[in-house]
Homo-oligomer: A and B are copies of this chain.
Amino acid sequence: MRQSMTLIPTLRELPSDAEIKSHQLLLRAGFIKQIASGVYSYMPLAKRALDHIEQIIREEMENAGAAELLLPALQPAELWQESGRWYTYGEELMRINDRHDRSFSLGPTHEEVITSIVSDSVPSYKRLPITLYQIQTKFRDEKRPRFGLLRGREFIMKDAYSFHTSEESLDEVYQKMHQAYTNIFTRCGLDFRAVLADSGSIGGKDTQEFMVLSEIGEDTIAYSDASSYAANIEMAEVHQVYERSDEPEKELSKVETPGKKTISEVSGFLNVQPSHVIKSLVLIVDEEPIMVLVRGDHEINDIKVKNALDASSVEFADEERTKELLNCSFGSIGPVNLPATLKIVADNAVEAMVNAVCGANEDDFHYINVIPGRDFHVDKYADLRFIQEGDPSPDGNGTIRFARGIEVGHIFKLGTTYSKAMSATFLDENGKAHPYIMGCYGIGVSRTLAAVAEQFNDENGLIWPTAIAPYDIHLIPVNMKDTEQKDLAEKLYTELKEHRYNVLFDDRNERPGVKFKDSDLIGMPVRVTVGKKAAEGIVEVKIRKSGEMQEVKAGDLLEVLTNIFKEL
């Protein structure tokens, strides 16, 4: 493509409202333009990069046995009412009425539509399993759109849905999708992890998020430094074995701790390690107050409390409620001498504590030399805390480290949540109806573009991996008014295109400084510069990533490029 015929609106100045690199660079390099908060135009370079990402996705989806279709953005409210999400999705669901006052959602996802179609089209087990996917513009009215394409209100998704007669069949496709996603993000050149995630309110068992590692990520990942283990910190199980100290048990005793409330205040005042203090909190579990204990150096993970107690809702009691129950303030509560009606659950680490400290349910007093089991009864021990850096990896290999990640993909065993709600059934061999067992599998396509931009850049601009780069080569005659330069550049342009390179040809009458600055900013993998040595038939080849530069005879260019692209 001749640069004069496309639109690459590069900016010299840093956009003031762009906080993160990918957002700044995609704006500055003329890849995107904001039309409204969280709504962007994809300019020609971005469109080409998106095409490449989409092509990779299509190839891997096809390999995984999925068939592509395209569902509408407008979805009748009735479908969402059937699934119940019309009432629960909240303000993120964009809703619109047509001229006859019928309500529609603007699809943020398509479980309802696809379930309705499959239910209508695949009545029998004979035609199952089936996996269908689409690449489509989606809408979600984010409360705080930000980070450019990372959290927008109109964005491009790949969403796939699979339908099965059995859990085994779902497992199989789930694994295929896991492999496809691994291939996709590997081909995109991304540094990512497949991370165990919370299945949230939808139910279902297995779910994994594909996270691109990045400081600006909104999620924290716990990963092993020695294996492929990775999980959302909310989900990471703690498999640590806590050794009980063999120090002699001392007698329980109440001590004054005037004004000391936090773990660090109490442990400092009593001159013990925070790990010797029992942290006690009241949580409201399915409307019943329960006391939860963890070690002073640990944090309670309410999702684990919820799972351990098989509850459907868990929240932390506020100070007022706590006072009502125990007649003391937050910092002074503890498990000793509680009313028998108040259940106690504790993290496994608490079981190993000896001569510990805890609140005395009386302001300004704590107990010391507390022995769990001796001084209070624990109804249940379980893994109730957040994993921490330095903990052993739950898979037994290596030590846990933390990283931040951008979620670019999500695979999910939905089970029968939607099919049951929507009465979507197939007939088995005996003519008996069962709800489809379903999986769903998403990729944020426009978000992946931003994630690549976030991982690949330097102080001069973007550095596209070859698989995604809008063009392979940026061909730049330094001076288009110089006939020798122009002619050689035109000749090379034709030749390179014939050899199936995607070439961006900077045929603009701009100063060399502008051309080179733009070129670094937009970041094609290889730059071929036709300058003063054009008369001698010599051009310059520069690799954007390494900055490596070499002079090459025009006749050798193709060979040199073949080698460079082999390496890149």
Contact = CB atoms under 8 A, between A and B. Distances in A.
A122 B7 contact: yes
Interface in A29-43: 30, 33, 35-36, 39-43
Contacts of A106: 96, 106
A98 B33 contact: no
Interface residues of A, number: 62
Nearest to A143: B99
Interface in A65-107: 65-76, 91, 94-96, 98-99, 102, 104, 106
Contacts of A71: 35, 41-42
Contacts of A94: 96, 98
B39 A72 contact: yes
Interface stretch (A124-132, A199-207, A237-245, A515-523): A124-132
Nearest to A91: B99
Interface in A101-155: 102, 104, 106, 113, 116-118, 120-122, 126-127, 130-132, 134, 137, 139, 141, 143, 153-154
Contact of A41 (B36, B43, B70, B131): B70
A438 to B, nearest CB: 15
Given A120-B33, A143-B99, A40 B72 contact: yes
B35 A50 contact: no
Contacts of A137: 73, 137
A68 B44 contact: yes
Contact of A47 (B70, B73, B117): B70
Interface of A: 1, 4-7, 9, 30, 33, 35-36, 39-44, 46-48, 50, 62, 65-76, 91, 94-96, 98-99, 102, 104, 106, 113, 116-118, 120-122, 126-127, 130-132, 134, 137, 139, 141, 143, 153-154, 509
17 contacts: A1-B67, A6-B67, A7-B118, A7-B122, A7-B130, A35-B72, A35-B113, A36-B74, A41-B69, A44-B67, A44-B69, A46-B70, A48-B68, A73-B73, A74-B139, A74-B154, A98-B153
